[in-house]
Structure 1
């Protein structure tokens, strides 16, 4: 058995099609089919049930595919150890980050990271939390920037900063002159929210219970930037994270109203696999984050503990 055969059976289990699995592995369908049949002969068990229009792992196949996945992870650790053994801060770091953080944090993070780790560019994947978690588990990403809570077996998290929520209304709105508001006051038929699947949407609904009441006619947007523009145009009001409302994202057509303290907020964190072979890369990120000077981000105390300790 070979690591290549392991990649083939993992791809087939995920795709459920020989043609799609072959395309994913960049080989011809006969090459993939022969390799999997050869592995089944070697192991003496049927890994996949073939039928008209479907391919599905058998019970033992499911267990073997999972073990193959773990074997690939361990093999990749060997490669990474060899590659980064001399310098953990040399070479790309695969960073996953959620949509509601990426446009606002990344420009500041990259500027702060350059002097800390000039030979470590970021290969960035912007996606939803569930997708990023799967990619981290499959070793397609090295570290995530996500909002807590976030729990996954074999993953370490480190809180970075807290970020308050703010109410935004268009100029001329009856609330424009308000100096503060309570979460319970955010209601009505003009509230703009992100579409389902975004963790920030869920956090807003948790912080402002009246928004999800049957009487509220919520309107939806694809991104924070889109919602901010719709509010500025006069379509409605919204609740957004403070970092999305500071310069250069402030807008003279918007009024920003704070919540009565304690303000609803979200806690942002790094997440990486236990035993990640480049702990100094994590510490470099933490050091760069600690150097970001943005009043919207309330950095956690003790964010850095010295290079080489992030795996502790």
Structure 2
């Protein structure tokens, strides 16, 4: 069997459809089917149960697919070893970034990175955390930037920075007059949150778990963007929390509505994450160095308390 045949097997295992797998592999469906059949004939077993819709792996097929992933990864590692030996930092690199980090962090480091490493072709996707985890585990991303810790066994995390939460309090609110606030000052029932699926929302919920005001998970309004939440707060519909870097881009008239928390400030941990068996470590190191350099001057908070987007089990 060949590496290419194993790649075809992995494609069908992922998409559960021969036609779609062939499209993703840029071959015709008959060619892909024939090559997979050759592997099955060589091994004397069936990898796929073709009688089911969608196509399912057989019991032995599960084991073969897991081994095929290892073989394909190790084959790719050969070229990676050569690149590292030559000091070459280039090639395609697929990076996922969560929506609450993308608009503030990406403009800070992207220009610096592409100027310093012009041979790297960055392919960047904005993805929710669960999609990032899935794509990392299935080889569709090389790395990602997300809020951590995630407690994922197969994923390694390198902390880039700690970003405090900042409250946005409209002028007509009862705690507007306070210079600094505490978590207990927040009324969770009037909190404006991002819609479900955003890890920043999960972090806010975890932050407020010990808040006596939290009696049930009923929120009047949810939105997909911080800008909408800010406008709703300005209309007197509640308060919201923002990541610190996002506050740097607010208009001057809105800065008076920001309230920092007393120390230790609740914060999220933002990390560069990647599979533990990742090949392109030299590019990951280059990304980490570039991002750390630009963020160091923007965030000077030291005494913070990290709030995970995922509850401890």
TM-score, normalized by length of structure 2?
Answer: 0.83
Aligned to 1:133: 133
Which stretches of structure 1, 4 residues or longer, exceed 6 Å deviation after superposition?
none
Structure 1 unaligned regions, length at least 5 = 301-312
Aligned to 2:113: 113
* Partners of 1:15 and 1:21 within 8 A in 2: yes
Deviation at 1:104, TM superposition (A): 0.7
- Quickly say closer, same or farther: Cα 1:44–1:287, change in 2 above 3 A: same
Aligned to 2:229: 227
Aligned to 2:20: 20
Separation in 2, partners of 1:293, 1:45: 54
Aligned to 1:236: 238
Correspondence 1:120-159 to 2 at 5 A: 120-159=120-159
Separation in 2, partners of 1:42, 1:143: 35
- Quickly say closer, same or farther: Cα 1:35–1:299, change in 2 above 3 A: farther
Aligned to 2:198: 198
* Partners of 1:164 and 1:296 within 8 A in 2: no
- Quickly say closer, same or farther: Cα 1:296–1:174, change in 2 above 3 A: farther
Root mean square deviation of aligned Cα: 2.7
Correspondence 1:199-278 to 2 at 5 A: 199-209=199-209, 210=211, 212-214=214-216, 216-246=218-248, 248-250=249-251, 252-253=253-254, 255-274=257-276, 276-278=278-280
Separation in 1, partners of 2:185, 2:89: 48
Separation in 2, partners of 1:299, 1:31: 57
Aligned to 1:310: none
Separation in 2, partners of 1:179, 1:273: 43
Separation in 2, partners of 1:295, 1:233: 34
* Partners of 1:159 and 1:269 within 8 A in 2: yes
Which secondary structure state, in structure 2, belongs to the residue aligned with residue 94 of structure 1?
strand
Separation in 2, partners of 1:182, 1:161: 22
- Quickly say closer, same or farther: Cα 1:114–1:281, change in 2 above 3 A: same
- Quickly say closer, same or farther: Cα 1:293–1:213, change in 2 above 3 A: same
* Partners of 1:88 and 1:281 within 8 A in 2: no
Separation in 2, partners of 1:27, 1:115: 35
Correspondence 1:64-75 to 2 at 5 A: 64-75=64-75
* Partners of 2:191 and 2:240 within 8 A in 1: yes
Q: After superposition, what is the alpha-carbon deviation per residue over 1:164-223, rounded to whole angstroms, capped at 9, x for unaligned?
A: 111112343333322122212212543111222222111111112347522853421113
* Partners of 2:76 and 2:279 within 8 A in 1: no
Separation in 1, partners of 2:300, 2:74: 37
* Partners of 2:192 and 2:219 within 8 A in 1: no
Q: After superposition, what is the alpha-carbon deviation per residue over 1:238-287, rounded to whole angstroms, capped at 9, x for unaligned?
A: 111111111x2346246111122222111112223446444443332233
Deviation at 1:118, TM superposition (A): 4.4
Separation in 2, partners of 1:244, 1:125: 19
Separation in 2, partners of 1:215, 1:79: 50
Separation in 1, partners of 2:293, 2:240: 30
Q: After superposition, what is the alpha-carbon deviation per residue over 1:127-186, rounded to whole angstroms, capped at 9, x for unaligned?
A: 122222232233332222221113334543221211111111234333332212221221
Which secondary structure state, in structure 2, belongs to the residue aligned with residue 141 of structure 1?
coil
TM-score, normalized by length of structure 1?
Answer: 0.83
